[in-house]
Structure 1
Amino acid sequence: MLKPDILHRAAAQGLLTPEQVDPLVDFINQQNDADLNTAHDEEQLKFVRNFGDIFITIGVAFVAMSIATMNLQSWQWWLAGGCFVALAEWLVRQRRLALPGMAILLSIMYFVAQAAGLPEIDLFADQFSSIPSLLLLAGCAGAFYWRYGMPFSLLPMALSLVTIALIGLGEQLLEHQWLFTLIGLVVFSIAITFDSKDRQRKLRWSDCGFWLHLLASPLIVHGIMTTLIFSDSPLLNALGNEILLISFFVVFMLVALLVDRRAMLVSSSSYGIYAIFTLLENSPVSAENLPLVVFIGFGLFIIFFGTFWYRLRTVIFRPLQNSRVANLVPDFTDK
């Protein structure tokens, strides 16, 4: 930010008139505020500020992995967890370091699981024995969020609760893959609730929504894509499973554009590539070059879509500016 005294010195040397200084300072400050607001509106990765955060996280990971390889007794695992809680008090509560805090939380959850002798989680075999494990892990993540307010904590907490729901469904998941989508939509609705509290993407609420979107998206995409791929429904076969795959990918892309969450597209990329491969099986392009052609086309699409993200969002969704949907998502403006 330009300091006013620099402009006053310029005026003293005759480069500016004294009457121009104050209006110019106001103009520069307005431009800086506009740039700051634009930066906050972007889907930034707020959990890492500089390489120092990465460096500290590497140190936390070294200590955690070293402890994890030890043959410890139950009370020793609890002691390790307590030491990492003390580390969280220093690095997360006092220094507000998010990335190291993520590594600390995952380490604490692992130490607690070892200390409590929790069994391995299995969705289909001896299903209900895993529920206490998941409840304890969800409680750890929830307590971490309550104490430190770290948005990432909601991801392992929600993942544990989602896994409990999947365990409850059990064998039905093998027959009804769309249940993944149903659970994903529940998580997605919670994420949108967080987003709606912070449409300008300046507060912690939008960060909470970001992590929940990362969980909701693969659940939604997996359920629908596997249903389309392996369905024996005559209606779906008549419409063409490949065309339906591409159509869903386009719709999902538009939803990500609407809620202004690029991260949602990551989970659908692999399924989108599969659908494209299926459609191009009978193309004149040789099979040897087909994968390269697909990846080149997909890469160019990502470059174009990422570059003109806000312009496309404005053009497509501006008619919804005064609708109820607009109250849940960021403004439809071309930044």
Structure 2
Amino acid sequence: MQQHTSNQPEIDGSTAKPAPRNYTEADLQSCVEAEILTPEQLTQVRDHVYHRNTAKKSIESEYFRLISGFNDIFVVVACALVLAAIGSFVSALTDLNASLGVALGAWALAEYFVRVRKMALPGVALALSFGIASIIFAMQNFGFEGFRLVLVCLAAAALQLLFWWRFRVPITIATAVGALVLAVQIMVAGTTHGVIATIPLLNLLLGLAVFAFAMWWDISDLKRTNYRADVAFWLHILAAWLLAAGIFPFIIGGPQLAEEAPQVGIFGALIVTLIYALMALVSLWVDRRALMLAAIGALVYVYSQVLTEYGVVSLNFAISTMGIGLGLLALSVYWQRCRRVTLKVLPTRLRAWVPPLDHELDGQAHSEKAN
């Protein structure tokens, strides 16, 4: 008996046809018209695919919503022109400060472009414009000496929180926290009579506090599908800057701790490298690259100093930046693989507090579908 062979797989005794790799909207609508899918099922399919792709994109690339098209840049430029004109009109035609007009104008523009149109980049620009104009107005009217500057920082933080309450622009949480951090730094500097050596330790403690706050936002949205992940992104940038400003001055010295910067040496470079490796490990765990970027300046400085000490003067900066840049590029290419390896040494309890890997995300999607 001659056996029939076919390249097509057999399913339930019948020959299955190869499926196309992509389905168009017309294909999906035809399934509804043919009563293969109900409209409700089609909606569920769309929602499932959207949330799955959004989550994977967010986790793989540390995606955050900032710009959706050139129209966002167009609107930002137009808003800048309008705010500049408002400031000029207020200054020329009234006795009020131009900064007050800019702050009110930024709020008015945000009512449409942020609250109605939900535009991310104009939201960031208008939030910063509102905050900076408010600070300038407060400093012009209340002064910026001693405790008055602390009050200005507290007022700026309160206004940024008010902007957050109204428009939900993620960066306003970070700017409010930054204003509070500045207020604490001013108070401590006044208490210690300006002892500069206390600043790195203070920055380290503040950086750890901001990092914990950022992780609180991150844990509430591990799949990074809503605005909470964007809030965490900006907070991580602030925390990274504070941590870098708190850790590395203790090691490399410089004008903050001494009148003359000491030689770093191989031992100092080794310590800086180990600390940077630890920051890279934490960055991989929490899937946030900001910690690594904030410390690049210290790394370049240390390696340049070491090369200079060994006689490589003319090319010290080029060699150090090339090596660091190539290392970061390699890490960006193999980021997910490095995460997969480093997460193996993370305790099981802490694994529930960091973003999942790709295959874990797929497993969660299948579990939700089964339930």
Structure 1 position 157 matched with structure 2 position 176: yes
Q: Distance in 1 between matches of 2:241 and 2:102?
A: 33
State whether structure 2 residue 108 is matched by structure 1 residue 86.
yes
Matched, 1:329 2:323: no
Instruction: Report matched runs for 1:260-279 at 5 Å.
Output: 260-279=287-306
Structure 1: distance between partners of 2:171 and 2:108: 19
Distance in 1 between residues matched to 2:336 and 2:52, nearest whole Å: 16
Report the Cα offset of residue 31 of structure 1.
7.6
CA contact (8 A) 2:285 2:343 kept: yes
Q: What's the CA shift string for 1:47-76, capped at 9, x where partnerless?
A: 211111111111112233444567463376
Deviation at 1:316, TM superposition (A): 1.5
Match of 2:237 in 1: 214
Q: How far does the alpha carbon of each residue in 1:234-277 deviate from its partner, in whole angstroms, 9 at most, with x for none?
A: xxx99932221121111111111111011222211111111222
| Identical aligned residues as a percent | 24
- Worse-superposed segment, 102-111 or 208-217: 102-111
Q: For the Cα contact (< 8 Å) 1:166–1:173, is it kept in 2?
A: no
The answer on whether the counterparts of 1:317 and 1:332 sit within 8 Å (CA) in structure 2 is no
What are the ranges of 5 or more consecutive residues in structure 2 without an aligned counterpart? 1-21, 259-263, 362-371
Query: Which protein is bigger by CA-based radius of gyration?
Result: 2
Match of 1:288 in 2: 314
Aligned equivalents of 1:5 and 1:229: distance in 2?
A: 63
Change (3 A) 1:302 1:35: same
Shift of 1:204: 1.4
User: C-alpha distance in 2, partners of 1:8/1:78?
Assistant: 54
Cα distance, 1:318 vs structure 2:
2.4
Normalising by structure 2, report the TM-score.
Answer: 0.74
Structure 2 counterpart of 1:14: none
2: distance between equivalents of 1:222 and 1:104? 28
Count of paired positions: 312
Q: Secondary structure at the match of 1:48?
A: coil
Deviation at 1:110, TM superposition (A): 3.2
Instruction: Name the SS of the counterpart of 1:287 in structure 2.
Output: coil
Distance 1:110 1:31 in 2: 41
Correspondence 1:317 to 2:346: no
Q: Which residue of 2 aligns with 1:37?
A: 55
Q: Is the 8 A contact 1:142 1:154 kept in 2?
A: yes
Distance in 2 of aligned mates of 1:289 and 1:114: 43
Quick check: 2:87–2:98 contact (8 Å CA) kept in 1? no
Matches within 5 A, 1:1-335: 2-3=23-24, 6=27, 34-41=52-59, 42-68=61-87, 71=91, 73-74=95-96, 77-116=99-138, 117-118=140-141, 126-170=145-189, 171=193, 174-176=196-198, 177-230=200-253, 240-283=267-310, 286-320=312-346, 323-333=348-358
Please give the root-mean-square deviation of Cα atoms over the aligned residues, in Å: 3.1
1:3 maps to a residue whose letter is T
In 2, Cα distance between equivalents of 1:8 and 1:68? 53
- Give the alignment's TM-score, normalised by structure 1: 0.82
- Separation of aligned partners in 1, 2:194 and 2:348: 38
